[in-house]
Amino acid sequence: MDLTLNIWRQKDAKSKGRFVTYQLKNISQNCSFLEMLDILNEQLIMQNQEPVAFDHDCREGICGMCSLYINGRPHGPDDAVTTCQLHMRKFKDGDTIVVEPWRARPFPVIKDLLVDRTAFDKIIQDGGYISVNTGAAAEANNILVSKTSAELSMDAAACIGCGACVAACKNASAMLFVSAKVSNLALLPQGKIEAKSRVQKMVSKMDELGFGNCTNTYACEAECPKLISRSNIARLNREFFCAKIA
């Protein structure tokens, strides 16, 4: 298929960006979206132009490194996939595709389609773990965990930290991301001990880093490539409330 691409180009964090239009011919349906960008870049290099910079690594939908706002949707038109797992069969011959970086204040653009997501790491650093030193663990089967809790915890833990939820949210809220971590740990007996301080620290860090408030529109859930459920946000709110009154 033949395509017109409108891609955001920006030299670095300080420069102003703009859209640039490119034409691509003969793209196979079975090509992934990033492989399509590889082909574009190969073309640009051959024309002695700078290739488009974008983040990616595993290319199998698990590392959370790829991003991209494609035709107005984080990770593009297909549901429940990351950009690296999006395939060109979701587009038609002659389509124009608009490609932008995540747009959210806490995720400044570094270059072209690459953004800085270290704010997510900072939130996790503020309590997104269980404080156990190496060697201090008890025999694994000493504390039983119900299958239901383990499964629910795993549902939340499937978050890949890509930032699509923030990019999708009109307030750039990180509630889905934070609530996924809070739930993952709060649902397990091992995580209960620090649950109160964890939720308070993580939420206040999120606010401090400039993420917006959650106004319950749930665009985050709709765009999450890993189908993280909004029920985690409800759980976070409960945990937060309990921590406050305790």
Given the rule CB under 6 A, which residues bind ligand FES?
Answer: 56-59, 61-66, 82, 84
Which of the listed partners (ligand FES, other proteins, none) does 146 bind, with a CB threshold of 5 to 8 Å by partner kind? Answer: other proteins
Can you tell me the distance from the alpha carbon of 91 to that of 71, in angstroms, rounded to the nearest whole number? 11
CA–CA separation, 113 and 104 (whole Å): 13
Q: Is 147 in the site for other proteins (CB under 8 A)?
A: yes
**For other proteins, what does the binding mask look like between residues 39 and 68, x meaning CB under 8 A?**
x--x-xxx-xxxx-x-xxxxxxxxxxx---
Closest CA relative to residue 15, chosen from 133, 109, 140, 98: 109
Q: Among 60, 98, 101, 99, which residue's Cα sits nearest to residue 81? A: 60
Could you say whether residue 191 binds other proteins (CB under 8 A)? yes
- In angstroms, the CA 82 to CA 64 distance is 8
Spatial contact of 195 and 186, defined as CB atoms under 8 Å apart: yes
Q: Does 208 bind other proteins (CB under 8 A)?
A: no
Name the residue nearer to ligand FES (CB basis): 66 or 152.
66
Taking contact as CB under 8 A, which single stretch among the options 28-36, 69-77, 171-179, 216-224 is the one that binds other proteins?
28-36
Determine the Cα–Cα distance for residues 113 and 179; give it in Å rounded to an integer: 27
- Tell which one of 14, 16, 94, 141 touches other proteins (CB under 8 A): 141
Kindly state the tokens that stand for 34.
């990033």
Closer by beta carbon to ligand FES, 56 or else 235: 56
Return the one option of other proteins, ligand FES, none that residue 81 interacts with (CB less than 5 to 8 A, by type): other proteins
Shortest Cβ 114–ligand FES spacing (Å)? 13
Task: From the list ligand FES, other proteins, none, pick the one residue 66 interacts with, judged by a Cβ distance below 5 to 8 Å according to partner type.
Answer: ligand FES
**Residues in 98-127 that interact with other proteins by CB under 8 A:** 110-111, 114, 116-118, 120-121, 124-126
As measured in angstroms, the least distance from the Cβ of 225 to ligand FES is 8
**C-beta atoms surrounding 153 within 10 Å:** 19
Residue 17 lies near other proteins (rule: CB under 8 A):
no
Q: Tell me which residue of 38, 224, 198, 23 sits closest to 128, measured CA to CA.
A: 198
**Minimum Å distance from CB 224 to ligand FES?**
13
Query: Which listed option, ligand FES, other proteins, none, makes contact with residue 26 (CB within 5 to 8 Å by class)?
Result: none
DSSP state string for 112-146: TTEE--HHHHHHHHTT-S----TT-PPPGGGS---
